[in-house]
Chains A and B, each alone.
Chain A
Amino acid sequence: MLEINDILETISMIDKQHLDIRTVTMGISLFDCVSEDTGRLCDNIYDKITRLAGNLVQTGEDISRQYGIPIIHKRVAVTPVSLVARGMSPDDMVKIAKTLDRAADSCGINFIGGYSALVHKGMTAGERSLIESIPQALTETNSVCSSVNVATTKAGINLDAVGLMGNIIKKTAYLTRNDGSIGCAKLVVFANVPEDNPFMAGAFHGVGEGDCVINVGVSGPGVVSHALKKAPNANITEIADIIKKTAFKITRMGQLVAAEASRRLDVPFGIVDLSLAPTPAIGDSVAHILEEMGLERCGTHGTTACLALLNDAVKKGGAMASSHVGGLSGAFIPVSEDAGMIDAAKCGTLTLDKLEAMTAVCSVGLDMIAVPGDTSAETISAIIADEISIGVINNKTTAVRLIPAYGKTVGDEVSFGGLLGSAPVMPVHSESSEKFILRGGRIPAPQNALRN
């Protein structure tokens, strides 16, 4: 028989501590949609997505109702478009983006990922076309998300691609200037990108995946924070244990929902992503967990250590709770989507440099950070290069989602609405990195890539 305390604990987690399933993401392969005719390719893509994901939203809502657990997002990730639209022009690529948008609309989902290119070692003409079309594609669609992998530990860093992405991000910011440069919130630059990540904006369906798969991302910073509040005098070992136990419970729920979604949709279960994903809601912040551990404010000395402990404990607790763990699996620190991070950035305790250090010990990277609109493309590329290096050397995923908010400067705030939140514009170093970026070429793979 179930213990009454356990039942009440679960209900309190859901009702008061923002426990939810952040996303059920269906991965769909587009390889069988390939056609040399753009019109036919678009028709094939639209038909396949709407056929497989047509019931995704309804199924998600049914599961949510049955288990009493909110499922916030139902989303779709597809094969990187650059791989199915080889050799097409940027205009054709935009047509495909619009097709994805239309398919997402017709399935009732809010984001569709996979407008992506993998260029960590080199770039084909089609991949260049896709990357060049990103600003227009993100401006002319609502739900399409884009990602570009510019480095891996095995291949090194494609500095040409890093340089190009600085310009693409600036152009996207300009074209979506009337909406706070929101296009940049849907564009991620990666190192070591995972192929089964369920979280947007970086989700796509990897080439090693099957035809269709269900991946689930859980959430629960509020639950962890609440559990720590109940142990104000615990030592740091006990803190790690509390986090592990809480992560276990959260992940078990994710596993249950993933298995049920897989059964109902008759699609194989892929992975559960163990990430702690915050929202701008009060009480759902990763920064507040770190502050609960004993920091006056997130960003001060000790932040990296607390985050390292949090990230490791979440993985240890979650790993046993799920049969397959994957995706990004680590604490997210998106500034605009986390009330505690926003406060810490506003008062200057949390800086871009500190955030960079934090990403060395957590998932995923410099995420949802607004920088001044007049930041040069080369500076943005250099920020990307720094962040990507951390991933390459440490054999982990890192990413950059920067918003050079057009017309805004330090002290201003950019608001994106909904779960994307709002971000204070943070200062960047004014000294130039232009010569470094313009050198181009490839940063060689590090010694630790030679593992065979």
Chain B
Amino acid sequence: MRLVITVVGKDRVGIVSDIASICKELHVNIMDITQKVFDDMFAMVMLAQMTDSSAPFETVADRLEKCGDDAGLKIHTMHEDIFNSMHRI
């Protein structure tokens, strides 16, 4: 299963590193990152792959959400299929 992780919030040093560390810890493989900073707004979309050794989906989503809450960022972790079904025929 592939995840889409989106992160939006005020820019600071180490956001990508924080998210990537959680992915590493929970054995979620990062496949692609698109990231931009507009003025001081940070926006990132990350595509990640869950593997057999990954933590359960709920754990990954909870950890990322908590990381976002602590750092004042809005983080969504969603199954890739919702975007595929909505935007592809």
Residues of A participating in the B interface, judged by any CB pair closer than 8 Å: 1-4, 6-11, 15, 65-69, 249, 252-253, 255-256
Residues of A within 8 A of B61 (CB): 65
CB pair B83–A10 under 8 Å, yes or no, is: yes
Interface SS of A by simple majority = helix
Chain A proximity mask over B23-48: 1 for CB below 8 Å, otherwise 0? 00000000010100000000101010
Chain A proximity mask over B41-60: 1 for CB below 8 Å, otherwise 0? 00101010000000001100
> Taking the nearest CB of chain B, how far is it from the CB of A177, in angstroms?
45
Closest to A259 in B: B85
| With A65-B58, A66-B57, A68-B77 as contacts: A6 and B83 at CB distance below 8 Å | yes
Residues of A within 8 A of B12 (CB): none
CB pair A10–B82 under 8 Å, yes or no, is: yes
Residues of A within 8 A of B67 (CB): none
Interchain residue pairs with CB less than 8 A apart (19): A1-B47, A2-B45, A2-B83, A2-B84, A3-B87, A4-B45, A6-B83, A6-B86, A10-B87, A11-B6, A66-B78, A66-B79, A68-B76, A68-B77, A68-B82, A69-B78, A252-B85, A256-B82, A256-B85
Residues of B within 8 A of A67 (CB): 78-79, 81-82
Residues of B within 8 A of A2 (CB): 4, 45, 47, 80, 83-84, 87
Residues of B participating in the A interface, judged by any CB pair closer than 8 Å: 4, 6, 32, 34, 43, 45, 47, 57-58, 61, 74, 76-87
Residues of B within 8 A of A9 (CB): 87
CB pair B85–A7 under 8 Å, yes or no, is: no
CB pair B76–A11 under 8 Å, yes or no, is: yes
The docked-state distance in angstroms from the alpha carbon of A65 to that of B57 is 9
CB pair B6–A7 under 8 Å, yes or no, is: yes
Cross-interface CB contact of B87 among A68, A69, A249, cutoff 8 Å = A249
The docked-state distance in angstroms from the alpha carbon of A9 to that of B43 is 13
> Taking the nearest CB of chain A, how far is it from the CB of B25, in angstroms?
20
Closest to A66 in B: B79
CB pair B58–A69 under 8 Å, yes or no, is: no
Closest to B81 in A: A256
Closest to B87 in A: A6
The docked-state distance in angstroms from the alpha carbon of A6 to that of B4 is 12
Residues of B within 8 A of A68 (CB): 76-79, 82
| With A2-B84, A253-B85, A253-B86 as contacts: A7 and B4 at CB distance below 8 Å | yes
CB pair A253–B82 under 8 Å, yes or no, is: yes
> Taking the nearest CB of chain A, how far is it from the CB of B58, in angstroms?
6
- Give the interface centre of B58, B76, B78, B85 by most chain A CB atoms within 10 Å: B85
Residues of B within 8 A of A3 (CB): 87
Known: A1-B47, A256-B85. 15 other contacts (CB 8 A): A2-B4, A2-B84, A3-B87, A4-B34, A7-B6, A8-B43, A8-B45, A9-B87, A10-B83, A11-B76, A65-B58, A68-B82, A69-B78, A249-B86, A255-B85
> Taking the nearest CB of chain B, how far is it from the CB of A21, in angstroms?
11
Residues of A within 8 A of B47 (CB): 1-2
Residues of B within 8 A of A10 (CB): 82-83, 86-87
- CB-based closest 7 A-B pairs: A68-B78, A6-B87, A256-B85, A67-B82, A252-B85, A249-B86, A66-B79
Residues of A within 8 A of B58 (CB): 65
Residues of A within 8 A of B76 (CB): 11, 68
Residues of B within 8 A of A65 (CB): 57-58, 61
| With A65-B61, A249-B87 as contacts: A7 and B77 at CB distance below 8 Å | no
- Give the interface centre of B61, B81, B87 by most chain A CB atoms within 10 Å: B87
The docked-state distance in angstroms from the alpha carbon of A8 to that of B84 is 13
The docked-state distance in angstroms from the alpha carbon of A8 to that of B76 is 11
Residues of B within 8 A of A253 (CB): 82, 85-86
Residues of A within 8 A of B86 (CB): 6, 10, 249, 252-253
> Taking the nearest CB of chain A, how far is it from the CB of B45, in angstroms?
5
The docked-state distance in angstroms from the alpha carbon of A112 to that of B76 is 32
Closest to B34 in A: A4
Closest to A253 in B: B86
The docked-state distance in angstroms from the alpha carbon of A117 to that of B32 is 56
CB pair B83–A7 under 8 Å, yes or no, is: yes
- Give the interface centre of A9, A66, A67 by most chain B CB atoms within 10 Å: A66
- Give the interface centre of B4, B58, B74, B82 by most chain A CB atoms within 10 Å: B82
The docked-state distance in angstroms from the alpha carbon of A253 to that of B58 is 21
Closest to B57 in A: A66
CB pair B57–A7 under 8 Å, yes or no, is: no
The docked-state distance in angstroms from the alpha carbon of A79 to that of B85 is 33
Closest to A67 in B: B82
> Taking the nearest CB of chain B, how far is it from the CB of A24, in angstroms?
15
Residues of B within 8 A of A249 (CB): 86-87
Closest to B2 in A: A2
The docked-state distance in angstroms from the alpha carbon of A3 to that of B83 is 9
The docked-state distance in angstroms from the alpha carbon of A10 to that of B57 is 20
Residues of B within 8 A of A4 (CB): 34, 45
Residues of A within 8 A of B57 (CB): 65-66
